Structures are given as structure tokens and as C-alpha cells.
Structure 1
Amino acid sequence: MPGHANQKLFYNTVLCQTFSPNGSHLLAGNIYGDVSVFDLSKVLGPYQGEENNLRGPNYHFTAYPDQHVESIIATDNFLVTGTSGEISGWDWKIVTSNKAPKMKASWTVQIPSNKDSYEKPDVNYMVYSKENHMLYAGCGDNNIYVINLDNGKILQTLDGHKDYIHCLALMGNQLASGAEDGTVRLWDLRKKENTNVLQPHAIEKIARPRLGKWIGALDFTEDWLLCGGGPKLSLWHMRTMEAATVFDLPDQGIHVADIYEERIITGGSMSHVHHLTYQGDTLAEVPTSSNTIYNIIYQEKPQKILSIAGTSNKIDICTNFNYREMTLKFA
């Protein structure tokens, strides 16, 4: 049924992306439960095909039939995917080989269901600590689960958010989380406690009541915290927890916000990915194939590449971060 497949892809949304640990492959997950695998040396090499035909993946496999691949990350040994109620690990050797389409998950961790609800909590966002092999999963039941990947056990639950979690960021022993409840929470992972709560929507120059109070994206360093969503994108001093810069962007909601070296990279419900200085000046505006961007990933080695995806079957690739070099298709 090729017609049906094409129609599906017309409505495709790519929810998440990651690079393999050695940087050789780009992987993307979509709303139909599929993961596409791109070999970057082939993608970035000379192209033999028709000028108008976009390059597709080397292979793809179905991680979750009829469910979303909501989040995806890389550990040294596994590609880790999250969906409604569970997290799965896939062996890299098979993921990056032509056996990928027939692959089965190597392991699965079930997220506990609320006894009063038939719905399984969505695994909306994951971050991984290489130092201690811990996976942190922000979920639709308002909780962050700390999972030991050596044995697949949930070690603890960080609770405090009053609505589902959209995003996480990790630095050393500190975790930041942003949620639908409009708060950004900072957690001390050694003491296992919530150390700070930020409410950007409570500040008039940041709030956008018509878009809601949800926090869709965040990132932080020792000095700065960046966040946005319904409220405008804003940069905060970590020490004083005061807003230093409020960015004036043409977005209808922020879904990606990253601090990269001396710049800020952001995307969301707008037609460009914006590269900005900390003070809010524009360094670059990169046009995108999607009306809404849900994820941007980048790496320096083995080749410098930034990949942009969202509400489209297309993935935009930049090797110079300031402009779009090529567009791939998810499938």
C-alpha cells in the first residue's frame, strides 16, 4: 500500500534524535513508532541519486508498532528509546547493521502505572549520566525516574512537578526539569532533593498567557539557565535566579533551547532555528522544513553536524551551524 505509506509520511512528525556514541550514525524516532538510521559518512558523501530526490535512511526498524517514539538517547552499548509506559535498549551492533529491520529490544524497563489510571505514563524526555550509568526519565505522570542501567531497576522517583514533564537537562550532580505546570525545578542528585523552583510565567516581561505557562525546553551551565515554552525564551543567572535576557522571537512556543559554547540555539513553533548571543542579538537564522521544531542535536566529532527535525518527514542538516546544507527524509 504505497499510497497509504506516503499519506502517513505526509503527516509525519520526528519527535526525537540522537547520534551514535562514536558519532558515525544519526538516529531519529517518529510518531509511528519507527526509528530511522542514517550512516553519516554516506549522507555527507557525494550523492549519486536524482537531484530532487532526498536521501533517506540506510535502514529503519519499528521500535513500537502504533505508538510514538517519544524520546531517544545513546549510551555506549545501547540505543535507548522511550514510549508510553516503557523504555527499551537496542544493541548498537545490530542497530547500525543491515539486520536492523529484524531487531528485537535487548531489554525493557517498565514505568510504574498509576493505580487509578489505565493510561501508561509517557516517557517524554531522557538524559543519561555516563559517570554513574544512571538514566533520568521525565514522564507524563509528573515524575522523574532515576534508573540504574546496569540492572534496569528504578532507584528513586523525583516528585514535585504538578503536571507532566517536557524536558530535562543534566550537569554533574545537578538536574533541571521543565513541565506543563510552568515551573523549572533544579535537583541536587546527591541529596536527592529539589533545591530551587523557577516560575517564568509569573514575570510579566516573560509571560505569554495566551500561549500558556508550560516550559518546553531548558538548558543550564554553572552560570546560566535557559528556558522557554509558553513563556518567552529567557536566560537566568544561576546564582541570583534573576532573568538577565528575555529574547524577542517570532515563535508561538519554544520546544528547543540549548546553550552551545558562546551561543544559544533555539527552535519551536516558528519557521527558523535561531542562533543568538547571550544578550539576544541574532547570529544566524536557519530556515527549516518543519513548521514546528521538536529537536535539534549537534556534535563536533568525527564531523561537525547539526540536525533539525519536527513536524515533517524531512530532517535539515547543517555542517556549518549558520546555514542549512542539505535535507534528508525520515523514510
Structure 2
Amino acid sequence: MIETSDKKLIYNTVLSQTFSPDGNYLLAGNIYGDVSVFDLSKILGPNKIEDNELQGPNYRFAAHPQQEIACMLSIENFFVTGTHGEISGWDWKMINSNKAPKSKASWNIQIPANKDSYDKPDINYMVYSKVDHLLYAGCGDNNIYIVNLEDGRILRNLQGHTDYIHCLAVMDNQLASCSEDGSVRLWDLRKRENTNVLTPHLIDKVARPRLGKWIGTVDFTEDWLLCGGGPSLSLWHMRTMEAATIFDLADQGIHVAEIYEERVIAGGAAAHVYHMTYQGEVLAKVPTSSLTVYSIVHQETPHKVLCAAGSSNFIDISTNFNYREMMLKFA
């Protein structure tokens, strides 16, 4: 018989990652509700461990036992997790002081249950707007909830999607969302209304019917919108909503992609994390430990690092973004 803990590691999947506000810690959450905390100063410093020895976390704690931590983010005073029907905040002072394994969440916000099923929706993705200081949560009940973290109130929800939401992106007063329903929606956050809808699966050159219509990831700038999922990863003009670039990747579905400094970074059901130009030229193919990548996070300071994680017990670390320098063990 395989021990339960060993079994968990064999089937481990890391769904979410974030950095502490000072950039010195990487936090990762998995499908069992555990959070692993890594000290990047130690991992990337001059005394880092030799390549043949995989480094584990400083410590790990059961934040939400037996519930997957689908998303997490970092705000000034709190580490925020999204699970089944609940958004929780953890005081950074506790997280950074190694007391986290014994600490409880500082606050919890409940997402209302569906009136028909009485089942609370999963919180699949969260973004925090520094413009209006509100949190936006994309959920399994097709709604985007607007949450004021100051008092824990849900101000309202944005309705329009007809299936569960995979990803959100925010910029200034605009929000982009994408869903299992095959659509990308743009929202004006001042008016709190839907301003545009894009349906990539209806465009022949982008559609991949055998992989489905779902859109797993979205990102945007003033000029460009990036999305992918079942349909190919593609870059669209924001003004015309025409596809400018369709990326030719050997993937079986895109789960994470973003626009970063004139390049596109993407991963999913593929053997690599891809770095590409807007025109589709591949700048780097970084091998992954996971058959499917669900989370990519990066920062420039105090440590330049990109971390990719997914359907394995390992997190891939790149410090120059063009090759994998090392792997960490989630547990």
C-alpha cells in the first residue's frame, strides 16, 4: 500500500502561486489545500544547494484541508487564497515569521451559494485592482464578484458568462474575463457593464473543435488582447477585435498566458513554457516538470525569477526566463 502522504505527492498538482509583497518568498497552493512557503533568498542566493539536490519549502501548512487552492494573490498586508466558496486572508507577519503552520486565517469572506443547488461556487481566479482597491473573483457559478476587502462586503456581481470562469485580467478601469463558455468579455469597471464579447471558437483559423471551445486564460494591454484554451493561443487587436497572430504551439490546451515586456509567455498541456514575440517567433522553450502547467508567476526584484507549476510535485525555476535553472519540491 502506498502511504497517503506519498500518494498525495504522486498525484500532487500545484494550481496557484504568488510572491510576498517584499519579493523574498514564493508561496504555492495545491489541490489538497496545502501552502508551501519558499525563501527565495536562500534558494537563489550564493549558498544555494547543488543542482542534484532538490530543495523543498521552508515550511508547509494546511490552509484549507482537502480543498483545492485554485488561486491566490498578494496584497500589502495579506496573503489571499481562493477555494470552495471562500476567500481567506492571512497576515503576512504570520506567514513570514514561520508561525503560519499554527496560524488561522485573519478573515474569511463567503461567496453566496446558488439558490437552486445550495452549493457554494469555486473561486477559480482573483485579481486585485490598485485603481479602485477592490478584489474581483471569477467563480464557478459564472459570476464575477466585486469584493471590498476593507469591510469584507461583496458589492455586486458581474453577470454575462454562461459557464464557469477560468481567468481574469485587470488594467486601469477595464477587466477582461474568460470562461468555459468559449467567450472573452471586456468590462468597464466604472459603469460595471460588459462592453465587448469575443468568441474565438467561432473563428475558423483559431478554432480547434477537438479541444473544445473553452478559454483558459486572458491578458490584455491598451492595444492587444491575448487568449487561448481549446482554441489556439492568439493575439487580437483591441480596437478591431481581429486576430493578429495565431501562435503555432504543440499544446493540447492553454491554461496560462500573459503579455510581458513585448513578449508573450504561455503554458498549458504542453512539454514547455513558451516565450514568444508578438509575431509568433519562439524566443525560448523552457522544459517543464509537469505534463500540464496551471500557474506561471514572475518578478524582477529583489530576485529576478519565473516559477512554473502544474500537474506534479515540482516547481520549475528560471532566473533569466530562457532556460530552467532548477526545480523545487512542493513537499
TM-score (norm 1): 0.98
Equivalent position of 1:21 in the other structure:
21
1:215 aligns with 2:249: no
Superposition map of 1:142-291 within 5 A: 142-291=142-291
Q: CA deviation at 1:120?
A: 1.4
CA distance in structure 2 between the partners assigned to 1:198 and 1:189 by the alignment? 18
Q: Is contact 1:123–1:137 with CA below 8 Å preserved after alignment?
A: yes
Q: CA deviation at 1:2?
A: 9.0
CA distance in structure 2 between the partners assigned to 1:83 and 1:51 by the alignment? 34
Structure 1 residue runs of 5 or longer lacking an equivalent are: none
Q: CA deviation at 1:97?
A: 1.5
CA distance in structure 1 between the partners assigned to 2:106 and 2:48 by the alignment? 36
CA distance in structure 2 between the partners assigned to 1:50 and 1:205 by the alignment? 46
CA distance in structure 1 between the partners assigned to 2:13 and 2:211 by the alignment? 21
CA distance in structure 1 between the partners assigned to 2:222 and 2:318 by the alignment? 28
How many equivalent pairs are there?
331
Q: C-alpha offsets along residues 296-320 of structure 1, whole Å, 9 cap, x if unaligned?
A: 0000111110000000000000000
Code of the residue aligned with 1:172 in structure 2: it is D
Code of the residue aligned with 2:196 in structure 1: it is N
CA spacing shift, 1:178–1:48, aligned 2, 3 Å: closer
Q: Is contact 2:43–2:49 with CA below 8 Å preserved after alignment?
A: no
Q: C-alpha offsets along residues 275-326 of structure 1, whole Å, 9 cap, x if unaligned?
A: 0110000100000000000010000111110000000000000000001001
Q: CA deviation at 1:131?
A: 3.0
Q: C-alpha offsets along residues 224-282 of structure 1, whole Å, 9 cap, x if unaligned?
A: 00000000000000011100001111000000111000100000000000101100001
Q: 69-78 vs 3-12, which deviates more? A: 3-12
CA distance in structure 2 between the partners assigned to 1:111 and 1:175 by the alignment? 20
Equivalent position of 1:119 in the other structure:
119
Q: Is contact 2:42–2:48 with CA below 8 Å preserved after alignment?
A: no
Code of the residue aligned with 1:4 in structure 2: it is T
Q: CA deviation at 1:118?
A: 3.5
Q: Is contact 1:75–1:130 with CA below 8 Å preserved after alignment?
A: no
SS state of the match for residue 73, structure 2?
strand
SS state of the match for residue 7, structure 1?
helix
CA distance in structure 1 between the partners assigned to 2:90 and 2:275 by the alignment? 33
Equivalent position of 2:30 in the other structure:
30
SS state of the match for residue 42, structure 1?
helix
Superposition map of 1:42-121 within 5 A: 42-47=42-47, 52-121=52-121
Q: CA deviation at 1:35?
A: 0.6
Q: CA deviation at 1:59?
A: 1.1
Code of the residue aligned with 2:65 in structure 1: it is P
Code of the residue aligned with 2:237 in structure 1: it is H
Code of the residue aligned with 2:127 in structure 1: it is V
CA distance in structure 1 between the partners assigned to 2:317 and 2:282 by the alignment? 20
Q: CA deviation at 1:129?
A: 1.1
Equivalent position of 1:310 in the other structure:
310
Code of the residue aligned with 2:191 in structure 1: it is K
SS state of the match for residue 154, structure 1?
strand
TM-score (norm 2): 0.98
Report sequence identity in percent.
72
CA spacing shift, 1:287–1:48, aligned 2, 3 Å: closer
CA distance in structure 2 between the partners assigned to 1:138 and 1:303 by the alignment? 30
CA distance in structure 2 between the partners assigned to 1:159 and 1:129 by the alignment? 19
In the TM superposition, structure 1's runs of 4+ consecutive aligned residues that sit over 4 Å from their partners are 46-51
CA distance in structure 2 between the partners assigned to 1:232 and 1:132 by the alignment? 33
CA distance in structure 2 between the partners assigned to 1:187 and 1:51 by the alignment? 46
Q: C-alpha offsets along residues 99-153 of structure 1, whole Å, 9 cap, x if unaligned?
A: 1110100000000001111321000000001232200000000000000011110
Code of the residue aligned with 1:38 in structure 2: it is F
Q: CA deviation at 1:49?
A: 5.5
Code of the residue aligned with 2:124 in structure 1: it is N
Q: Is contact 1:126–1:137 with CA below 8 Å preserved after alignment?
A: yes
Code of the residue aligned with 2:305 in structure 1: it is I
Q: Is contact 2:37–2:59 with CA below 8 Å preserved after alignment?
A: yes
Alpha-carbon RMSD: 1.3
Q: CA deviation at 1:48?
A: 6.8
CA distance in structure 1 between the partners assigned to 2:286 and 2:295 by the alignment? 14
Q: 162-171 vs 116-125, which deviates more? A: 116-125
Q: Is contact 2:165–2:177 with CA below 8 Å preserved after alignment?
A: yes
Q: Is contact 2:90–2:107 with CA below 8 Å preserved after alignment?
A: yes
CA spacing shift, 1:251–1:171, aligned 2, 3 Å: same
Q: CA deviation at 1:47?
A: 5.0
Q: CA deviation at 1:156?
A: 1.0
Q: CA deviation at 1:53?
A: 3.0
